Amino acid sequence: MTTTIDGRKVAQRIRTGVAEDVARAARLGGPVPGLATILVGDDPASTVYVAAKRRAVREAGMRDFHRSLPATSTHDQVAAVIDELALDPEVSGILLQLPLPGALDAAALIDRIPVGKDADGLTTASAGLLTRGRFGLRPCTPSGVIELLDAARVPLRGAHAAVVGWGELVGRPMAQLLLRRGATVTVAHEHTPDLAAVTRPADVLVVATGVLGLIGPEHVKPGAAVIDVGIHRTDRGLRGDVRTAELDGIAGCITPVPGGVGPMTIAMLMVNTLQAARWAADPGTPPTTPPTTPAALPA
Ligand SMILES: Nc1nc2c(c(=O)[nH]1)N[C@@H](CN(C=O)c1ccc(C(=O)N[C@@H](CCC(=O)O)C(=O)O)cc1)CN2
């Protein structure tokens, strides 16, 4: 039997835990965390995602700072906004919504965000901290995947994990997070000649390719945990990189699209914003706990 992992439920539990922590800190007179979202242009999906992030910020009792910039903005104009937010002590975290329009250099702009305010965990500095196993803010989607695997009680230490896709947003940090949990990790990508040869031995399969329906029964070990990070808008609604219906009775557990990984991205952004505020309040002793709240863990 295949179990569906309910990402909405896990995400809500995490968001409630963050809201409780924010309220508790406020009662004790601590600073209220604040997230600044930056949206450049008017890409419809990005507009929806940023609106959802801002709503989540307010629901968590945090402060919502937002900047909208025209699609014609230059590198220097976007950089100036990031620099201004970087200096603002009320802003705990900064997020530059991706993708950026035109020829803007996303990597260079993201790297202007100070590591302590890197709510998305996407700067080169945050990637370095992750690779070294030091405290830092982790990329939201892959850390959300780890939370889902924990919620489904999927053992990671000693497991063979395959990550399909090597993007900076998901694939690469995902592999690092799984490694840190003691999994043996293989990363497959567009140049991998025989994809099924990599994925079929995997106990844990994380797919983040951006290729609609790439993964089917021929790629999956019976009983494996299958995590689908893809989101595609089709005539039949949202679909992922995995042909989920075909894996019923084969996968041990699987995330749906929608309602799987997607909601976790926003939940983990709330966790990171809270962590950033704590880090700023006591920069000498960065939190030593993993970037999740105790409330985020399964009961
Ligand atoms: N700066 C960033 N940009 C982008 C990120 C990111 O983490 N940081 N990730 C994606 C988009 N994204 C958040 O920005 C995101 C994607 C999907 C969801 C989500 O909740 N999806 C729902 C379906 C919602 C829908 O109808 O589209 C689901 O899967 O159930 C949240 C956030 C790229 N850009």
Beta carbons within 8 Å of 192's beta carbon, 6+ residues apart: 198
Does pLDDT of 299 surpass 70? Answer: no
Pocket residues: Cβ below 6 A from ligand 1: 49, 95-98, 120, 140-141, 231, 238, 257-259, 262-263, 265-266
Q: What is the pLDDT of residues 18-75, one digit of tens each?
A: 999 999 999 999 889 999 999 999 999 999 999 999 999 999 999 999 999 999 999 9
> Helix, strand or coil for residue 233?
strand
> What's 246's DSSP letter?
G
> Helix, strand or coil for residue 11?
helix
Q: Where in the chain is CATH 3.40.50.720?
A: 140-254
Q: What's the N-to-C CA distance of the chain in angstroms?
A: 23
Q: Which of 21, 118, 120, 241 is catalytic?
A: 120
Q: Where in the chain is CATH 3.40.50.10860?
A: 28-117
What pLDDT was estimated at residue 296?
Answer: 35
What pLDDT was estimated at residue 18?
Answer: 98
Phi and psi at residue 171, to the nearest 5°: -55, -55
Q: What is the pLDDT of residues 178-231, one digit of tens each?
A: 999 999 999 999 999 999 999 999 999 999 999 999 999 999 999 999 999 999
**Residue carrying structure tokens 């963050």:** 18
Report the greatest alpha carbon distance in the chain.
57
- 97 noted as active-site residue: yes
DSSP 131-182: HHT-S-PPPHHHHHHHHHHHHTT---TT-EEEEE---TTTHHHHHHHHHHTT
> Helix, strand or coil for residue 273?
helix
Per the CATH hierarchy, to which homologous superfamily does domain 28-117 belong? Leucine Dehydrogenase, chain A, domain 1 (3.40.50.10860)
Does pLDDT of 291 surpass 80? Answer: no
- ipTM rounded to 2 decimals: 0.98
Nearest CA to ligand 1 atom 27: 45
> What's 243's DSSP letter?
-
Does pLDDT of 134 surpass 70? Answer: yes
Helix H or strand E segment including 50: helix 44-59
Does pLDDT of 163 surpass 70? Answer: yes
Mean pLDDT in the chain? 94
Residue 279 is labelled as binding a ligand: no
**Candidate of 49, 67, 94, 174 to mutate for ligand 1, largest count of ligand atoms within 8 Å of Cβ:** 49
Q: Which of 21, 97, 118, 203 is catalytic?
A: 97
Residue 182 is labelled as binding a ligand: no
Domain 140-254 has CATH 3.90.1150.10: no
What pLDDT was estimated at residue 286?
Answer: 58
C-alpha distances (whole Å) from 1 to each of 103, 120, 150, 206, 250 are 48, 35, 19, 19, 7
Nearest CA to ligand 1 atom 18: 262
